[in-house]
Structure 1
């Protein structure tokens, strides 16, 4: 699964948490640059959008949520912490547990 991350200047331990869920980072934008604050041209190849709310303005979040809805891509909005991200991913991943390759490969129960 490929994720598009929006928000946060640095990711810290976030890539490790995503790896546990079988999620790779497709692209990461901080959201500070003016070009990051508009809808991206395309989200081709992205399965999940992760919005770190403590680093984003309302308009930036709205643009990415709308695009996710238009392209039928799931999105998660949470604070930039390992615990908050894990809790949000647990909610999203429970719907696809039986078919999730990460659940069987990592022995992880969502």
Structure 2
């Protein structure tokens, strides 16, 4: 089972369904607009983080990257288009053999 945390964007539309079709069983979405999100921790069961770069607080991106490195969780960056997300996840999975579909 692969879990994914998406950070950014208010609404995801059909993105979660497409991610499920790719093999992600547990998808957690967190809006990246509010500054209080900086204090939120990355859940222990998360296998990968997807940051939607066009809908996120810049400071949150910096803090999230640091926390992900401490927990050894790979981070992918993409715009909120399915093409960009698909490409970013593919590159992240290729570079990280511990992620399995």
TM class by smaller structure: 0.7 to 0.9
Gaps of 5+ in 2: none
TM-score, scaled to structure 1: 0.78
- Higher relative contact order (CA closer than 8 Å, sequence separation 6+): 2
Look up the SS of the partner of 1:16 in the other structure.
Answer: helix
Residue aligning to 2:15 = 14
Count of residues in Structure 1 that have an aligned counterpart in Structure 2: 99
Inter-partner Cα distance in structure 2 for 1:77 and 1:25? 19
Inter-partner Cα distance in structure 1 for 2:26 and 2:51? 13
Answer whether contact 2:6 2:30 (CA < 8 A) is retained.
yes
Q: Shift in Å at residue 42 of structure 1?
A: 4.0
* Counterparts of residues 11-90 of structure 1 (less than 5 Å): 11-36=12-37, 38-90=38-90
Look up the SS of the partner of 1:43 in the other structure.
Answer: coil
Answer whether contact 2:34 2:57 (CA < 8 A) is retained.
no
Look up the SS of the partner of 2:64 in the other structure.
Answer: helix
Q: Could you say which structure has the larger radius of gyration?
A: 1
* CA-atom RMSD in angstroms: 2.0
Gaps of 5+ in 1: 103-110
TM-score, scaled to structure 2: 0.84
Inter-partner Cα distance in structure 2 for 1:20 and 1:91? 17
